[in-house]
Amino acid sequence: MIRGASALLLTLVLAVGAALTPSPLPAGEGPGVRVERKGPLAALPSAPGAHIEKLKALGDNAWLDLGSPAPDPKWGKACGRAWSSRAPYAPDLRGAFVFGEGVHGGIKSDGHYMDDLWFYDINAHRWICVYPGIKANGGYAEIKFNADGFEVTPDGHPMPIASMVHAYGMVTYDTDRKLFLSMPCSGGYWGGIKGRWERREELKEKTPKSASPWIYNTVEGHWDRFKTKNPSGPGGFGATLVYVPTVKKSFSYINKGSPICWYDSEAREWTPIKRQGTLTPWSIDPTSCYDSKRDRIWMGGGKFPIIDKGKNALWSFDVRTETFVEAAPKGAPGSTCCATDRAMMNYDSVNDAVVLILWKVAEGDVPGVYVYHPEKNEWETVSERPPALAQKDAWTGFYDPELNVHFMHGAGDSRDNGVMWGYRYRKGGR
C-alpha cells in the first residue's frame, strides 16, 4: 500500500511538473512572448531546409544563387517591384515582407490589383501570400466604410486598397508587437479598380486626415488602421519609416520641410519630434537602416537634389538625443544617389557595418557593394560590378543577423521571374 501510494504521488508530481514546464518556443521568441498566430503566417517559423547550411558556409564577399523561391500554392510568386528595396525583416517569423506596387496602377495576370502583401520564408525558401490584393473587376462592390472612415471588407477589417504606389523606405516591422507597418502613398493610379473611381468623392469625404500607418497584424492575421488625434506623420512619395526597438516607436520622416514624428503602436498615436541638428538636404527617397549598437538611423543618397559628386550624402538620426547628424565620412560609395530604385542599405550587426548594395547608377558612377564603418567614419569599397547585380532591375532585400546574410530578390518590375540571392560581407568576429 505504501509503495502504491508513493508511486501515485510521484506520478502526480511528475504530471504537475510537466504542466508547469514551458513548452518549446518558436525560433526568435523568448520566454513569456510565445505567439499563437492566425492567418497565413500561423505555422511560422518553418523547419530549416538544406539551403540553410549553404548559406552558413558562405565566405567573405560571397554570393549564393538560391534560385526562384517556391510559389504560394494558391497565388504563385511575388512580383518584382521598383522603388521598393526594403523588405522589412521579421526575426520571430524568420523572413521578411514585400509590399508596394511596381508599375503604376498595375493589375496582375490573376486579375488582382498589385496592392498585394507577400512574405519570404527564409527557412523554406518559399513565398507566402499574406494578402493577394483586391480583385480589380468587381471586388470593390463588397467594400464599405467603417465608423472611422476607412474602407473595410465584409469581415469589418480595414483594407489597404491601392494604398502604396511604391514602398520606398516607408515599410517596417514592429518586432515588439509583431506588426508590419506601411505609410500610404496612393498617387491616384487606381482607376483600374472597378467601382472605386466612381466613389472617389465619398472616399475623399470619409477618409480621416489623421490616421496611423497601415498595419498588418501578424498575430490576429488581418489588416488594421486607426484614426489618430494628432496629425499623421509624413508619408507620400519617398518617405522613411523605421521601427526603433529602444523606444518601441516608428520614426517617420521625409525632409527638413515636413513634420518629423514618432508613431506609437501601443497608444495608436503620433507625436511630433523637434527639428534639431543638421537635417538632410534632399527632398525624398534615401535608403535607410537602424543601427542597434548606436541607437541611430542611417539615411543616405536621397534625390531632388542629388548630392554633387565629392560631397557627403550620409546622415543619421540619433534616437537618444532626437538630433540629425551629418556624417561627413572619409571616402564615398559608388554614387551619391542611393535611392530605393537603385540601392538598399542594411545594418550588419555581426560586423557593425552599414552595407550599401548599389545596382543602378548614373553615367560615371559604379555599382557594387560599399560598406560604411561607423567606428572609423569611413567608406570601404568591397566589390565593384558584381555579376549578380546585373541580372535584374527591381531588387528588394533585407539582412538576417542570425545567418549573417543579406537576402536580395531580383526580378523584372511587376514580373514574377524573380531569383533570390544570399550575400555575406564578412563572416564576422574580426
Q: Is the dihedral of CA 82, 243, 302, 187 positive or negative?
A: positive
Whether 31 is in a domain gets the answer no
Burial letters for 116-138: b for 16+ Cβ neighbours within 10 Å, e otherwise?
bbbbbbbbbbbbbbbbbbbbbee
The candidate with the shortest Cα–Cα distance to 287, out of 364, 383, 216, 355, is 355
Question: Which strand ranges, in their side-by-side order, compose the sheet holding 171-174?
Answer: 171-174, 179-182, 214-217, 222-224
**Phi–psi pair at 35, nearest 5 degrees:** -115, 125
pLDDT (mean) for 24-28:
37
- C-alpha to C-alpha distances, 152 to 223, 282, 305, nearest whole angstrom: 9, 36, 39
Residue 14 has pLDDT above 90, yes or no: no
pLDDT given for residue 393 in this prediction = 86
Give the domain CATH number at 364.
Answer: 2.120.10.80
Q: Where does the pLDDT of residue 22 fall: very low under 50, low under 70, confident under 90, or very high at 90 and above? A: very low
Residue 12 has pLDDT above 90, yes or no: no
Whether 18 is in a domain gets the answer no
Q: Where does the pLDDT of residue 175 fall: very low under 50, low under 70, confident under 90, or very high at 90 and above? A: very high
Whether 4 is in a domain gets the answer no
pLDDT (mean) for 113-118:
97
Whether 103 is in a domain gets the answer yes
Q: Is the dihedral of CA 276, 281, 283, 288 positive or negative?
A: negative
pLDDT given for residue 27 in this prediction = 39
Residue 293 has pLDDT above 60, yes or no: yes
Check: CB of residue 318 under 8 Å from CB of residue 395. no
Check: CB of residue 88 under 8 Å from CB of residue 400. no
Q: Where does the pLDDT of residue 29 fall: very low under 50, low under 70, confident under 90, or very high at 90 and above? A: very low
pLDDT (mean) for 103-119:
95
pLDDT given for residue 187 in this prediction = 82
**What residue type is assigned to position 409 of the chain?**
H
Residue 73 has pLDDT above 80, yes or no: yes
Number of domains in the chain: 1
- Print the domain residue range for 420: 36-424
Share of the chain above pLDDT 90, in %: 87
pLDDT (mean) for 312-338:
97
Share of the chain above pLDDT 70, in %: 92
pLDDT (mean) for 117-143:
96
Whether 243 is in a domain gets the answer yes
At which residue does the C-alpha cell 517556391 appear? 70
97 - beta bridge partners?
Answer: 119
Residue 18 has pLDDT above 70, yes or no: no
pLDDT given for residue 155 in this prediction = 87
pLDDT given for residue 430 in this prediction = 53
Q: Where does the pLDDT of residue 154 fall: very low under 50, low under 70, confident under 90, or very high at 90 and above? A: confident
Residue 17 has pLDDT above 80, yes or no: no
pLDDT given for residue 289 in this prediction = 98
Whether 180 is in a domain gets the answer yes
- Mean pLDDT, the chain, integer: 91
Q: Where does the pLDDT of residue 34 fall: very low under 50, low under 70, confident under 90, or very high at 90 and above? A: low
pLDDT tens digits for range 222-261: 999 999 999 999 999 999 999 999 999 999 999 999 999 9
At which residue does the C-alpha cell 470593390 appear? 140
pLDDT given for residue 429 in this prediction = 62
Whether 5 is in a domain gets the answer no
CA gap 314, 335 in Å, rounded:
11
Whether 263 is in a domain gets the answer yes
Q: Model pTM?
A: 0.91
